[in-house]
Amino acid sequence: MSLFGGVINITGITFFVMSIFAIIVGGYLIGKISIKGVSLGTAGVFIASIIYGILHSKQLADTMNFSGIDFSPDALKIIENCGLVLFVCSVGLIAGPSFFSNLKKNFKSYILLGVVIILSGGLTTVVCYFIGRNGEADTKQFVALLTGLLSGALTSTPAFSAAKATVAPEYESAVTVGYGISYIFGVIGVVLFVQLVPKILHANIDEEVRKITDVSAGQRRKDDRHYVEIDPFGIGAFAFVILTGIFLGAIHIPLTSKGLAGTSFSLTTTGGVLIAGLIWGHFGHLGPISLHVKSEVLKTFQEFGLILFLIGAGVSGGSKFIEYFKPIYFVYGLFMTLIPMIIGFIVAMKVVKLHLMNALGCITGGMTSTPALGTLIKVAKTEAVASAYAATYPIALITVVLVCQFLILLLH
């Protein structure tokens, strides 16, 4: 790309990097727009990414084309995955000291909520199938698209991958289309939900936060032993936690039930890194080596990881949005997001009687919504809400993968 008569020449990679930082600037400006105290915050980066993907997907592909090979999808996926790893590792290390005591106290509640939220989404998908199947020429393709809508509504990449692996090869693109359509509201809907609910209930945020921080305070026992630091900031320790998490997420458990032969379950990199962060955050060391990461480093990685994740997912989704969009599909995805959230919140508050911030933390975990957790942390002004997210997330992760596969087998 040449500008000002060739005085400025921008290569494909340079243009790609410039685009990332331009999206960040524009996204934060969008996120600052507040309507009656409700704003998108960091999720504004997602909106900017979608807009960029819609307007510039062709140019992005062209500038990343070398020797006939299009690198842009891989580049976006790398950005998305790197961001997700940075974010969930930070969340795990922050929540680790209080996680296990919180889990012990509310273990049954977290399991119930994770399962209820995902099953509500699954049942909503079944209803959408019976409503729309007569208007579809290919019902198998429609089922594949619906499972894609469900995985997008729950912002679950593992469920998306499992659905693609379960359908016939000719229907994989339908899963991708559904995921891209519903992912947008899947992100924005939960982000707005965790901001609107406290306002609707006229909740005293400080008082609600105090209820959960009092439980979490003082969970890490004082340890006077001296540990060796890898580096002054804890970046080396942070990298070690990510490495162990990636290995944990790479473990695959075969699913040999009828109809599932050849498929397997894994925590994926996201789940593996989250659990590794929780474990190492709890213990704080490996033998004589300190795994403590400075608070300001964790907060920086948490925010930076979140915006990278939103850019990778947003640009990719935006580039396909107009091509495949149908209003009815968006409506299906909207209900697949709203109904599980509402049912999950009612169960959390009325059945298991969790405090408000714990309930909202469970909603972000049950919906497997990383951006919503980032927003909730800002609303609550404490990372203590991450414990509920981290406890519910693995349950929801396992359930949504199995539900998507089951739906394909049931409805085909």
DSSP 3-51: ETTTTEE--HHHHHHHHHHHHHHHHHHHHT-EETTEE-GGGHHHHHHHH
User: Nearest 5°: phi and psi at 285?
Assistant: -160, 160
Which residue is it, tokens 């992912």? 183
Q: Is the pLDDT of residue 349 over 50?
A: yes
Residue 242 has pLDDT above 90, yes or no: yes
309-324 average pLDDT score: 74
Contact 88, 272 (CB under 8 A): no
Quote the pLDDT of residue 96. Answer: 80
Q: How far apart are CA 60 and CA 319, in angstroms?
A: 10
| Residue % of the chain over a pLDDT of 90 | 19
Mean pLDDT of 18-24: 89
Nearest to 408 by CA among 164, 131, 137: 164
120's tokens: 């509500």
pLDDT bracket for residue 10 (50, 70, 90): low
Q: What is the pTM of this model?
A: 0.71
Q: Which of 383, 391, 335 is nearest to 365 (CA)?
A: 391
Instruction: Give buried/exposed letters for 291-313 (b at 16+ CB in 10 A, else e).
Output: bbbeeebbeebbbbbbbbbbbbb
Cα–Cα nearest to 173, from 140, 128, 206: 140
To 10 degrees, the CA torsion angle through 236, 41, 32, 331?
A: 150
**Angle ∠(109,114,119) on CA atoms, nearest 5:** 125
Residues 6 or more apart whose Cβ sits within 8 Å of residue 120: 339, 340, 343, 344
pLDDT confidence tier of residue 241, bands split at 50, 70 and 90:
very high
Contact by Cβ (8 Å): 336, 182: yes
Is the model more confident about 166 or about 223?
166
Give me the pLDDT at residue 128, please. Answer: 92
* C-beta separation of 324 from 180 below 8 A: yes
Q: What pLDDT was estimated at residue 17? A: 82
Alpha-carbon dihedral of residues 249, 252, 257, 263, nearest 10 degrees? 90
Do 185 and 337 meet the contact criterion of CB atoms below 8 Å apart?
yes
- What is the spatial distance between Cα 383 and Cα 378, in angstroms, rounded to a whole number? 9
Q: What does each C-alpha distance from 155 to 151, 329, 344 come to in angstroms?
A: 6, 16, 16
pLDDT at 341: 93
Split at pLDDT 50, 70, 90, the class of 66 is very low
Are the CB atoms for 121 and 336 separated by under 8 Å? yes
Q: How far apart are the first and last CA of the chain?
A: 48
User: What digits encode the pLDDT tens for the residues 268-279?
Assistant: 777 788 889 889
Pair 79, 53: CB distance under 8 Å: no
pLDDT at 161: 65
As a whole number of angstroms, the distance between CA 178 and CA 180 comes to 5
